[in-house]
Structure 1
Amino acid sequence: MSEFLLKPRIRFGEDALGILEQQSARSALLVTDKAMIEFGLADRVTRIWRQRGIAFQIWDDVVADPDIATVVRGMKLMDASYPDLVVALGGGSVIDAAKAVIFALAQMRSATPRGRPCFIAIPTTSGTGSEVTAFSVVKAGVEKLVLVDPSLLPDIAVLDPSLTLSVPPAITADTGMDVLCHALEAYVSRTASDFTDALAEKAVQLVFRYLPACWRSGNNQQAREKMHNASCMAGIAFTNASLGITHSLAHALGGIFRIPHGRANALLMAEVVGWNAGEARDTEAARKYARLAQLLGLPADSTHQGVASLLTAIRTLKDEMAMPGGIRDVGINDADFEQRLPELVNQALRDGCTPGNPRTPDAETLTHLYRQAWTGSQDGPAAQGY
C-alpha cells in the first residue's frame, strides 16, 4: 500500500501574499533573516499585521544552514510569547529553522492545552521546496541532520514570484539546480508513484525551459513564477517519494566544505544520474531518465541515447549559467579533499536520503562518485557507457 500526502494549502501567482490579510491571530512571529529586513520584504508582511492590529515579534538572525544552537535560540524566543501564527519568510534555511523550532516546541508542549500555531511558509527563492515538504535540515557540527515528520509541513504555502525578483544570478542558478535535482531524484526513487512522477516530470520541463531565462533576466516575472511553481511541484514530489544519493553526497560536501546546497547538488548530479542508469542500460531508472529526455524533446531513440541526452542537457544547463564544472573549481584544496574523503563518504552512507536511491551504493561507489565530481569531466559517467 502507498500513500500520497496533500498538504499544505498553496496560494500562488501575483499578489499571493495578500492571503495574509485573511489570517486572524492575536499574536504572530515572523521568522526571517537580515537580508529580508534589508530588502524591505519583511516589511510587506509586518505592514499587514500593523494594519490589522496583530501584535508580532521578529526573529531575524537565522543564517544559512541553521544549526542546533540556532534552533534553540528560536525555541526560547517563541516559547517566551507563544504565538497563534508563525510566518517563515526567506529561503530554505529560514523555513527549515522555523519548522524545527515549531516541531521541537510542540513536543515539549504536548501536554498543554494550547495547540500548534498556524504555520505559513513564504519562500523567497525557487529551490528547496521547503514550503511543501515534511523535511528540515539542521546542522550538528559539520554534519547535516535531516528531520522527517509529517508535522513539519506548513499549513499554508505562499508562492509570490515578486519576492524572488531580486535574487542574484548565482543564487538563481544554485537554487534552480536544486529544483532539478529534487525532481530527478523523486522520479527514480524506490518509492516513486504515478502521482509523484507527474509532478517531477512537469518540474523538470519547467526548469529546462525557464531557469536560463531567470538567470539571464532576474526581473522576468513569468519565468520567476514558473520556477517558483517548479520548485513547489518538485518539493511535493520528493516529500512523498524521498530523494537519493545526490542529496546524500551534497549534504556531506556542503556541511564539511560550506558549499551552498544547490551548487553541491549541481556538482554531483550528472555523476549520480550516470551511475543510477547502470551499465545494463535497461534499468528502470535508465528508462525513466530516457522518458524525461523524450519529454524535453531530446534525442531518445533508445534508452541509452535518452540517458546520454539527459546527461548532456544537465551539463549544458550548468555551463549556460557559468556554474563550476567540478568540486575542484569551488576553491577546495586537493589535499584537503582527499584527506576528508572518508568522512564525506561515511556521512553520505548514513544520510537519510540514501535508502531512497534506485541503486544501493557502498563506500567504494560513493568514493568513486566524489572523485568523478572532483574534476567534473565528462568521462565520469562515460565509464558507465554514457
Structure 2
Amino acid sequence: MNIFSVKPKIYFDKGSIEYLNTIRNKRVCIVTDPFILKSGAVDNIVNIFKANEVKYEIFSEIKPDPSIETVAAGVNKMRTFKPDVIIALGGGSSIDATKSIILFTIKILNSNGDKYNRPLFIAIPTTSGTGSEVTSFSVITMGTTKFPLVDEEMVPDIAIIDADFVKTVPPQITADTAMDVLTHAIEAYVSKNSSDYTDALAEKTVKLVFGYLLRAYKDGNDMVAREKLHNASCMAGMAFTNANLGINHSIAHTVGGNFHIPHGRANSIVLPYVIKYNAELQGQRETEAARKYADLSRILGLPCSSTEEGVISIICAIKVLMRETNIPSNLKEANVNKNELFSKLESMVDAALKDNCTKTNPRIPSKEDIVSLIKEIYED
C-alpha cells in the first residue's frame, strides 16, 4: 500500500516571512550558520520578534556538511533553552542539522524522564536546492562519511518559501543548488517508489529548472526566476521525500564527503552517467527508466523520435546546462586527485551500496557496477 504525505504547511510568494507575526508568547530558537548571521538575513526574523516581544535565542554554529559534533552542540542548546518553536534558517546544512537536533533532543530528554513536547518546527530555506524544508531526510557527516537519516518526526511543520531570502545567492551557488533540485526530481521520477503524485511534481520541477536556471544564473535580480527555482526546490523535495532517490545521490554522498565537493555540484557531475547506466540502452529490452527519461525529453520539447533518442536528448540537455553554468563535467575537472580517488575507491563503493538511496534506484547495482561508474565519472 502506497502513501503520499504532504505534512508541512507551505507559505510562499514574496513577503511570506510575515507568517512569523502570528507567533506570540513563545520561546523561539533560531538555528543558522555564521554567514547567514553576518549577512543580516536573521535580522528579518529578529525584528519581527522584537516588535512582538517574543523571547528568542540564536544558535549559529552550523557548518557545511554538518557533523555529529555540531548536532550535539545544538542538542545541548535545546536541552537548556527548551524552545516552544525552532526555526531553521539557511541552506540544507542548517535545516538538516536542525532536524537531527530536534530528533535527538526529544529522545534524550524523554529517555531521562524529562518530558518535552516536540517544538513547532519552521524551516526557511535561503538556497533553492535541497528541498529539506519538506522532507523527512537529514544528512549528517561523521568523518568523511555522510549518513542520510530518515524519520517522519524530522519533517518541518511549516515551510516558508520566500524568494527574498535567495536574491543575493551568488551565481555559482545558484547553479549548484538548482542542479541538485533537478537531480532530486529526476531520481524521484524513475525511483521504484514513484507514483502519479510524485511524477507530477517531478515533471513540473524539471520544466521549471530548465526554464529558469540560466535566467537566475545570469541575473540574480530576476525575481521571477528566483521564485520559480525556489518553488521548484520545494516541489522536488515533496517528490523525493515520498518516492526516495537513487544511486546518483548514493555516489554523490560519498564523493562529496571524501573530496569536499558541494553536494549539488557532485550530484550534477554524476547525473548524466547515472541516467545512461539506468537506461540500459544496450540491453535486451526497453526499460521503464529509459521510457521515463524519454518522457522528460518530450515534456521539454527535446528530440525524442524514439526512447533511445529521448534518453540521449535529456543527457545532452543536462550537459548543456552544466557547461553554461561552469559546472565541471567530470571528477577530473573538479580537481579530484586520481590516485587518492582510486585509493579510496573500495570504501566509497561500499558506502554507496549501503546508502539508503540505493535501494530505490530503478536498476540494482553490483559492486562492479559502482566501481565502473565512478571510474567513468572521473574521466569520461
Normalised by the length of structure 1, the TM-score is 0.96
Match of 2:219 in 1: 217
Match of 1:316 in 2: 320
User: Partner amino acid for 1:18?
Assistant: E
* 1:343 and 2:350 correspond: no
Conserved in 2, the CA contact under 8 Å of 1:25 and 1:85? no
* 1:237 and 2:239 correspond: yes
User: Partner amino acid for 1:353?
Assistant: C
Q: What whole-Å deviation, never above 9, does each CA across 1:215-265 have from its counterpart, x for those lacking one?
A: 111111000000000000000000000000000000000111111100100
User: Partner amino acid for 1:80?
Assistant: T
**Partners in 2 of 1:159 and 1:75 — Cα distance?**
26
**Partners in 2 of 1:25 and 1:342 — Cα distance?**
54
Conserved in 2, the CA contact under 8 Å of 1:291 and 1:306? yes
Aligned partner of 1:267 among 266, 269, 276: 269
**Partners in 2 of 1:16 and 1:112 — Cα distance?**
35
Match of 2:361 in 1: 357
Match of 1:62 in 2: 62
Change (3 A) 1:97 1:217: same
**Partners in 2 of 1:153 and 1:311 — Cα distance?**
32
Using the TM superposition, name which of 94-103 and 325-334 deviates more: 325-334
Match of 2:373 in 1: 369
SS of the equivalent of 2:42 reads: helix
Q: How many residues align?
A: 376
**Partners in 2 of 1:240 and 1:109 — Cα distance?**
29
- The CA deviation at 1:140 is 1.1
Match of 1:89 in 2: 89
SS of the equivalent of 1:62 reads: coil
**Partners in 2 of 1:9 and 1:150 — Cα distance?**
15
- The CA deviation at 1:34 is 1.1
User: Partner amino acid for 1:94?
Assistant: S
**Partners in 1 of 2:262 and 2:116 — Cα distance?**
37
- The CA deviation at 1:73 is 0.2
- The CA deviation at 1:24 is 2.8
Change (3 A) 1:168 1:4: same
Aligned partner of 2:307 among 285, 303, 306: 303
SS of the equivalent of 1:308 reads: helix
Normalised by the length of structure 2, the TM-score is 0.97
Conserved in 2, the CA contact under 8 Å of 1:96 and 1:137? yes
Structure 1: 5+ residue runs without aligned partners? 378-386
Conserved in 2, the CA contact under 8 Å of 1:25 and 1:84? no
**Partners in 2 of 1:114 and 1:324 — Cα distance?**
47
Aligned partner of 1:330 among 328, 334, 337: 334
- The CA deviation at 1:339 is 1.0
SS of the equivalent of 1:78 reads: helix
User: Partner amino acid for 2:101?
Assistant: V
User: Partner amino acid for 2:90?
Assistant: G
User: Partner amino acid for 1:266?
Assistant: S
SS of the equivalent of 2:139 reads: strand
**Partners in 1 of 2:83 and 2:348 — Cα distance?**
40
- The CA deviation at 1:25 is 4.0
- The CA deviation at 1:61 is 1.2
- The CA deviation at 1:170 is 1.0
User: Partner amino acid for 2:185?
Assistant: A
Conserved in 1, the CA contact under 8 Å of 2:145 and 2:254? yes
- The CA deviation at 1:108 is 2.0
User: Partner amino acid for 1:14?
Assistant: K
Match of 2:35 in 1: 35
Using the TM superposition, name which of 108-117 and 254-263 deviates more: 108-117
Q: Considering only aligned residues, what root-mean-square deviation do their CA atoms show, in Å?
A: 1.0
- The CA deviation at 1:53 is 0.6
Match of 1:380 in 2: none
**Partners in 2 of 1:207 and 1:270 — Cα distance?**
16
Aligned partner of 1:186 among 185, 188, 194: 188
- The CA deviation at 1:113 is 4.1
SS of the equivalent of 1:324 reads: coil
Change (3 A) 1:283 1:141: same
Conserved in 1, the CA contact under 8 Å of 2:251 and 2:352? yes
Conserved in 2, the CA contact under 8 Å of 1:15 and 1:160? yes
**Partners in 1 of 2:210 and 2:96 — Cα distance?**
26
- The CA deviation at 1:39 is 1.2
SS of the equivalent of 2:192 reads: coil
Conserved in 1, the CA contact under 8 Å of 2:106 and 2:116? no
User: Partner amino acid for 2:140?
Assistant: V
User: Partner amino acid for 1:359?
Assistant: R
Identity of aligned residues (%): 47
**Partners in 2 of 1:193 and 1:331 — Cα distance?**
38
**Partners in 2 of 1:134 and 1:219 — Cα distance?**
32
Conserved in 2, the CA contact under 8 Å of 1:138 and 1:145? yes
Match of 1:381 in 2: none
**Partners in 1 of 2:326 and 2:25 — Cα distance?**
46
Match of 1:384 in 2: none
